[in-house]
Amino acid sequence: MQAIILGDGAMGTAIAAALRARGETVLGVHGRPKPGETHPLGNHGEHTAAHAGTGNGALLVAFDFSAGDAVAVNVDAALAAGCRRLVIGTTAWEDQREAVAGALVGSEAAGVASASFSLGVALFARLVEEAGRLFSPLTEYDPFIVEWHRRTKPDRPSGTARELSRRLIAAHGRKQRPTNPGQVAPPDPDQLEVVAIRAGASPGMHLVGFDAPGETVELRLTARDRSAYVAGAIASADWLLAAARPAGLHPFDSVVNDLLSNSTFD
């Protein structure tokens, strides 16, 4: 595998290190230019086709772990460089999703996109859906979500919390929408309370609870480091390389389903 990493934060550098440890070729790990620094190829300081395409041989996989407002530009650059397989783990780019999916289809390229590439998170989300269905008829049990990440994480709630709330709302039925970040008033009866904590160095904790007058039922997933997320992102690249996938964006659940069925694609 030859790979380009778009985003030089903790996840981007961790993926690069894991790929190199596996003997893969990493063509580069690219972040945005620093303030006042002139980008070698312009384009408003984002990655460009020539920037992404440096290195010897064909560019096979692009990993995007950058910032939400950079995803569409980064995908266009990777496609222009000849990349037809992309793994997108950036969050807060929902407003660009339709454009990104269209660009992939137009270039006959395939990508896997997810707010989290942890296998544990993927299975945890399925447990949350089932819990939502089970507790839905019991009106005295009020569901809620709490997530805690490092102080410097910019988005709130996390992409994983947003996905968990989407699934829980769909399965639960009586909740129709999440609370808004910074909402002061108590949640309406049809609102799912979602709370984000930004403190310390926690790599990620998500708690889904159902509270009633006499008891509280909790489902909790705590990350100890980023290794699970890195492993899932690389497994997604292997999945894309293993077969001709339909053009467009694929959910990480498709990769998980193959892993659960003992399919091999490495």
Check if 44 is active-site: no
Count the Cβ atoms, other than its own, within 10 Å of residue 166: 15
What would the DSSP string read from start to end of 68-91?
A: GGGHHHHHHHHHHTT--EEEE---
Query: Under a CB-based contact definition with an 8 Å cutoff, are residues 104 and 248 in contact?
Result: yes
Measure the CA–CA gap between 142 and 165, rounded to whole angstroms: 13
204 CB-side CA count, 13 A: 21
Alpha carbons 140 and 135: distance in angstroms, whole number:
9
Question: Bridge-partner residues for 54, per DSSP?
Answer: none
Active-site residue 175, yes or no? no
Residues 136 and 262: their CA atoms lie apart, in Å, by: 33
Tokens 């509270």 map to which residue? 211
Distance from chain centroid for Cα 225: 16
Q: Are 87 and 4 in contact (CB under 8 A)?
A: no
* Residue 103: closest CA among 42, 56, 49, 51: 49
Q: What is the rounded distance in angstroms from the CA atom of residue 179 to the CA atom of residue 190? A: 10
Catalytic residue among 47, 149, 172, 206: 149
> DSSP E strands: which ranges in the chain?
2-6, 25-30, 61-64, 85-88, 110-113, 142-149, 177-178, 191-198, 205-212, 215-222, 248-251
Catalytic annotation, residues: 149, 153
